Amino acid sequence: IKDKIYVELPIPHGERFNHFQKLGDIDSALRRSISFEEYVKPEKLIAFLSKVYGSNRFDNLKEITVKGAKYYFILKSDDYYIREDYLSSGEYFIINLFKMIRLKCKLIVIDEIDISLDASAQVNLISELRGFCASDKVNIVFTTHSLALMKTLSDVELNYMENNEGVVTLQNRSYNYVKSILFGFRGWDKYILTEDEVLDDYLTYLIAHDNAPIFFKYKVIYVAGGTNVVSLMNRNVETQFFSSADNVISVLDGDQNKDEARLQYCKNNEMIFFIPFQSIEKQLLLHYRNEGRDGLPEVIYNSVGSESKVGKRLYKSLVSEMSKTKVFSFINDRNKGKVKKFREQLMVFLNAKNS
């Protein structure tokens, strides 16, 4: 099993730094191979390096075999050459990583993979390593503190390791969670756009009230007006000023789903959801008008005007009497089936990981 596992540590402990003496010992064999042109062009390694660094400076890379081991150098004019250990530390690391993959290691563990690599090379490297994992059936585990690199990882690839008073834990976490813990940057993975402050408060309560685990950091934002909410979400599809399109949804009052004129702007859009009532305020008004007010306390409010305006006045009066939490709890307790189904839709969105 040990022969199938490779562990690479950073400077000066990494295995690749133990090869310097070996490379010095084979220098005469290397010069002889150059004189007799006993070398080959390692096309796959050249392609790997070129994609990681976005450069063609490795086109003259050559490979020789000495006592069963492969060594690399860049051949210059007049038989001048640059041995692999004289390349940059990042380039030398990439070459040694390639060697381990080609040795059919099944598990490669790398501490601080981003050391000696610029941000662009870090991003490109991860993309290339995914290809090797698939084609060579290799598993690669690495640590990093690089935000640029972490940003490229999928939701299931990023894990957070923590040592809390001697107890080490490893948990799958979102990018913005790790970013906020390590660097204090505030950010969100998922966005819920909605119509007004009341719906904002209700959704926040509904999602959090039973303390169910939520993988992603999220933010509810009220915009004002259903058409404005959907318009903002649609503009994000093009510009991604919030996030990618699959990380942003709209949640509208249920009456928006029954109005044919309004329905046109949200027709056949799976990123738009509707609460299971016409609105929070109208649902309260419905209960309040039932016999015995369905248990709601009697309050003073102006009952003249449209259903929407009367409902808003009633909501304010009830909140003053009961608190928002109790008002929302009252609505949910009397509409358990519909609320449960709606909440499950929200939780799927907030916990859906990209592989």
Locate tokens 């993979």: which residue? 113
SS3 call for 219: strand
Confidence at residue 283, expressed as pLDDT on a 0 to 100 scale: 93
Asked whether 16 and 93 are in contact (CB, 8 A), the reply is: yes
Q: Which residues have C-beta within 8 Å of that of residue 218, sequence separation ≥ 6?
A: 188, 189, 190, 191, 192, 207, 350
Confidence at residue 60, expressed as pLDDT on a 0 to 100 scale: 93
Asked whether 316 and 301 are in contact (CB, 8 A), the reply is: yes
The two structure tokens encoding residue 296:
């709601």
HEC profile of 157-174: CCEEEEEECCEEEEEECC
Q: Give the CATH number of domain 2-152.
A: 3.40.50
- Nearest CA among 84, 81, 89, 97 for reference residue 116: 89
CA distance 319 to 327: 7
The pTM score is 0.69
List the chain residues with pLDDT less than 70: 1, 10-24, 184-185, 258-267
pLDDT digits (tens, 9 = 90+) for 66-82: 888 888 999 988 778 88
> DSSP assignment of 39-64, as one string?
-B--HHHHHHHHHHHT-STTTTEEEE
Asked whether 9 and 35 are in contact (CB, 8 A), the reply is: no
Strands 248-252, 5-8: pairing is unpaired
CATH of 188-276+335-355, one of 3.30.200, 1.10.3470, 3.40.50, 3.40.91: 3.40.50
Answer yes or no: same fold for 2-152 and 188-276+335-355: yes
Strands 107-110, 190-194: pairing is unpaired
Locate the domains of the chain by residue range. 2-152, 154-185, 188-276+335-355, 277-333
Confidence at residue 41, expressed as pLDDT on a 0 to 100 scale: 95
Q: How many residues does this entry show for the chain?
A: 355
